[in-house]
């Protein structure tokens, strides 16, 4: 093996949970959703380094796919990006003890007005592991039916009051990612995962209740 060459056995091709020792931790700021803390971390050689961490409750996201292989997309303004983005329905894990698939069901209904009969796990995703604890589970939802407006209890507010909904062919959504027209990270993960999983008719996907490995 030459210098700089990395060799992995197939058995090693899996992320591994477990943290290095933290010798000191302090909270720097707390917001409505996130908390900023500073950790002092001991490296394997004993060196101490300081790392800033954004604590985030995590989220779920949904690729809702109809019988014509169209994906349900929402268009929403995102202030930190100063942009209006095409996304997939998503929401915070903000109900203690709620199963993730139930959070996803709720978000699909609240943001898009749909319910789904069939749920699978597409991907478990760390949005920015170098700075944030945020983790997302991305679901595939099929067997979709619209819920009449009069049966929906949730009222959209703030940015959600202005979102729009559209059905986009899955292949077109993939082209939008590869052409640089789409920029939302979890939408990319979900759409590309669904595109790949379609090759096996989604048979390789996990059941919605399976735990996250990390």
Catalytic residues: 160
Q: What are phi and psi of 114, to 5 degrees?
A: -120, 155
CA-wise closest residue to 138 among 194, 74, 60: 60
Beta carbons within 8 Å of 91's beta carbon, 6+ residues apart: 59, 60, 103, 106, 107, 110, 111
d(CA 117, CA 208): 12
Beta carbons within 8 Å of 169's beta carbon, 6+ residues apart: 68, 69, 70, 71
Q: Name the β-bridge partners of 83.
A: 78
Tokens of 201: 């008719």
d(CA 207, CA 205): 7
d(CA 124, CA 139): 9
Is 195 buried (19+), middle (13-18) or exposed (0-12) by CB count in 10 A? middle
């Amino acid at each position: 093996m030459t210098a700089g060459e990395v060799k992995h056995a197939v058995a090693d091709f899996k992320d591994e949970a477990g943290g290095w020792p933290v010798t000191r931790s302090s909270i720097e700021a707390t917001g409505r959703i996130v908390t900023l803390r500073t950790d002092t971390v001991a490296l394997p050689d004993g060196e101490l380094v300081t790392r800033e961490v954004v604590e985030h409750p995590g989220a779920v996201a949904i690729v809702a796919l109809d019988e014509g292989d169209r994906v349900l997309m929402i268009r929403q303004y995102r202030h930190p990006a100063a942009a209006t983005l095409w996304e997939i329905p998503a929401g915070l894990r903000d109900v203690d003890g709620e199963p993730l698939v139930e959070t996803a069901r709720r978000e699909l209904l609240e943001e898009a007005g749909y319910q789904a009969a069939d749920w699978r796990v597409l991907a478990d995703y760390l949005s920015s592991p170098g700075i944030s604890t945020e983790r997302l589970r991305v679901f595939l939802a099929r067997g979709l039916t619209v819920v009449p407006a009069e049966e929906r209890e949730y009222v959209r507010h703030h940015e959600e009051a202005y979102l729009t909904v559209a059905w986009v062919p899955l292949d077109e959504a993939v082209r939008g990612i590869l052409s640089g027209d789409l920029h939302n990270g979890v939408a990319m993960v979900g759409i590309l995962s669904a595109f790949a999983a379609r090759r096996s008719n989604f048979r390789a996907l996990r059941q919605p209740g399976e735990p996250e490995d990390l």
